[in-house]
């Protein structure tokens, strides 16, 4: 090693060490500022919970977010991907750029939780009147990131770099015929000017206790594809089914056969996979064999090769069974979210931050989860780290906690300050070069 190379290496080490030491007082300041903003975070979360909005319709939520961010002196751009909000906080010191993301949309679910701020909102979804509820916790995600923005704005002069805040609509999927979500956010420049080097996000889950966090390096959440199968038969009298071609029986055979694909036909050692049919629709009367039956379902996977193989086998199985019955099956598979993939190098670097913030014994490694998240779209562009924030109250067993998307889904709000501290510390530690 030359003397010049050694000097440059020493200089880089000193700069990195100095930046890491600079992050220590910022961590204490984050704790102090989080304690101050915590009541606001709870109030925001309750307001959003009481006034939920469906995907691509988050106008009130976005307006409240943008108003708050502007009050902090951030550069704010609204109307991104329909109702999204992008805000930029420039620190007082030079450094890299990092992004933090929260989703804002609610679900077509009628709330069954007895809360003073329970949702009574009604809307239309898929042509049907529905209740609207934050049954997946996006109200908490939005409120926490608003809190993070206030905390980091309070550290502006000592912040070594830039933070981009992404408040995203339509994580649950845009309405039919519309674009939306992370893909449209990216297409409309959410990761440009300034361009983040990395992105962080979280999701509240009842499978983890309040006060704890969980994550997984590599594939954490599954790729998700939408399946539609239309079985064409030939209508006839139900008392003489041999005079027609029964698409109901054919559809039933297809559903059963599809279950054997992940169980027996693809290599599960490459990662879990699931094929589920969630809707079957056909017929209008008990004594008529209908002309057609429609099925809708989902395909989940963690390996790109397995994903392609599943598509091929599902198509071949449905078409083959239909042909054997004299029917015809039209199979459509719409590719959805990719795998939510935590960059291993970024995960190794930032895991100590979560361990420091949550405390000893409060950070766990999770198994792969077959939900899907469009946070994965950002991770395809830049390294990303996504983790779970526990919201199950003390004393409640996992099997007693209502899952995400349930009308009985509930959040222990005592968990919210940890989410604020975790996201703020991840941003500061990354910008400071900590744990490199």
315-323 CB contacts, 8 Å cutoff, 24+ apart: 317/254, 317/257, 317/258, 317/261, 318/229, 318/231, 318/254, 318/258, 321/250, 321/253, 321/254, 321/257, 322/231, 322/232, 322/250, 322/254
Angle, CA of 195, 196 and 197, to the nearest 5°: 120
What's the pTM? 0.90
Q: What share of the chain is helix, strand, coil (3-state, %, to 5)?
A: 40, 30, 30
The 10s digit of each residue's pLDDT in 136-157 is 999 999 999 999 999 999 999 9
The 10s digit of each residue's pLDDT in 47-83 is 999 999 999 999 999 999 999 999 999 999 999 999 9
Provide the percentage of residues in the chain whose pLDDT is more than 70: 94
pLDDT at residue 430, rounded to an integer: 98
pLDDT at residue 23, rounded to an integer: 55
Determine which of 9-23, 224-238, 290-304, 358-372 has the lowest per-residue pLDDT on average.
Answer: 9-23
Residue 434: is its pLDDT beyond 80? no
Mean pLDDT of the chain: 94
> Which is catalytic among the residues 103, 171, 292, 343?
171
- Using DSSP's 3-state secondary structure scheme, residue 361 falls into coil
pLDDT at residue 126, rounded to an integer: 85
Closest CA to 343 of 371, 376, 373: 376
Which tokens belong to 433?
Answer: 């070069």
C-alpha 87/C-alpha 149 separation (Å) is 9
Mean pLDDT of 183-212: 98
Beta strands at 93-103 and 198-209: parallel, antiparallel or unpaired: parallel
- Using DSSP's 3-state secondary structure scheme, residue 92 falls into coil
Residue 17: is its pLDDT beyond 60? no
Mean pLDDT of 353-382: 97
Residue 13: is its pLDDT beyond 50? no
pLDDT at residue 25, rounded to an integer: 87
* Residues 6 or more apart whose Cβ sits within 8 Å of residue 6: none
pLDDT at residue 357, rounded to an integer: 98
Closest CA to 274 of 244, 314, 236: 314
Residue 383: is its pLDDT beyond 80? yes
* Residues 6 or more apart whose Cβ sits within 8 Å of residue 37: 147, 150, 151, 420
Mean pLDDT of 168-180: 95
Catalytic residue at 292?
Answer: no
Which DSSP helix (H) or strand (E) runs through 359?
Answer: none
The 10s digit of each residue's pLDDT in 387-406 is 999 999 999 999 999 999 99
Catalytic residue at 139?
Answer: no
* Residues 6 or more apart whose Cβ sits within 8 Å of residue 311: 225, 299, 333
> Which is catalytic among the residues 53, 103, 105, 292?
105
Residue 324: is its pLDDT beyond 90? yes
Burial of 286 (0-12, 13-18, 19+ CB in 10 A): exposed
Residue 14: is its pLDDT beyond 80? no
Check residue 224 and give left, alpha or beta (phi > 0: left; psi -120 to 50: alpha): beta
Judge contact between 207 and 401, C-beta under 8 A: yes
The 10s digit of each residue's pLDDT in 88-116 is 999 999 999 999 999 999 999 999 999 99
Burial of 210 (0-12, 13-18, 19+ CB in 10 A): buried
Residue 290: is its pLDDT beyond 60? yes
Strands (E), 302-362: 328-335, 340-342
pLDDT at residue 20, rounded to an integer: 44
Mean pLDDT of 120-128: 94
């Amino acid at each position: 090693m030359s003397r010049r190379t050694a000097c440059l290496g020493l200089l880089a080490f000193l700069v990195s060490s100095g930046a890491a030491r600079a992050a220590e007082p910022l961590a204490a300041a984050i704790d102090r500022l989080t304690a101050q903003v915590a009541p606001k975070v709870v109030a925001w979360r309750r307001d959003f919970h009481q006034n939920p909005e469906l995907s691509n319709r988050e106008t009130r939520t976005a307006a409240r977010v943008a108003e708050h961010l502007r009050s902090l002196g951030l550069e704010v751009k609204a109307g991104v991907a329909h109702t999204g909000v992008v805000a930029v906080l420039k620190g007082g010191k030079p450094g890299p750029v990092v992004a933090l993301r929260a989703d804002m949309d609610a679900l077509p679910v009628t709330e069954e939780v007895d809360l003073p701020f329970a949702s009574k909102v009604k809307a239309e979804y898929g042509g049907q009147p529905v209740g609207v509820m934050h049954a997946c916790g996006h109200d908490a995600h939005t409120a926490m990131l608003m809190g993070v923005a206030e905390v980091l704005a309070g550290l502006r002069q000592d912040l070594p770099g830039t933070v981009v805040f992404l408040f995203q609509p339509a994580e649950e999927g845009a309405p039919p015929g519309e674009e939306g979500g992370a893909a449209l956010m990216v297409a409309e420049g959410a990761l440009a000017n300034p361009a983040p080097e990395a992105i962080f996000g979280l999701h509240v889950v009842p499978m983890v206790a309040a006060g704890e966090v969980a994550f997984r390096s590599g594939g954490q959440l599954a790729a998700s594809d939408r399946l539609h199968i239309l079985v064409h038969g030939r209508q006839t009298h139900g008392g003489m089914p041999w005079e027609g071609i029964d698409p109901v029986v054919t559809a039933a055979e297809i559903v059963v056969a599809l279950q054997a694909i992940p169980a027996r036909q693809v290599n599960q050692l490459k990662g879990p996979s699931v094929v589920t049919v969630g809707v079957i629709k056909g017929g209008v009367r008990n004594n008529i064999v209908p002309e057609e039956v429609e099925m809708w379902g989902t395909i989940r996977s963690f390996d790109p090769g397995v994903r392609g193989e599943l598509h091929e086998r599902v198509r071949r199985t449905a078409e083959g069974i239909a042909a054997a019955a004299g029917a015809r099956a039209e199979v459509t598979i719409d590719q959805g979210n990719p795998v939510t993939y935590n960059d291993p190098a970024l995960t190794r670097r930032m895991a100590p931050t979560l361990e420091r913030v949550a405390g000893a014994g409060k950070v766990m490694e999770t198994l792969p989860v077959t939900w899907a998240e469009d946070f994965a779209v950002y991770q395809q562009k830049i390294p990303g780290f996504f983790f779970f924030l526990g919201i199950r109250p003390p004393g409640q067993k996992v099997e007693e906690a209502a899952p995400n998307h349930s009308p009985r889904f509930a959040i222990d709000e005592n968990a919210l300050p940890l989410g604020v501290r975790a996201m703020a510390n991840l941003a500061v530690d990354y910008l400071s070069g900590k744990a490199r």
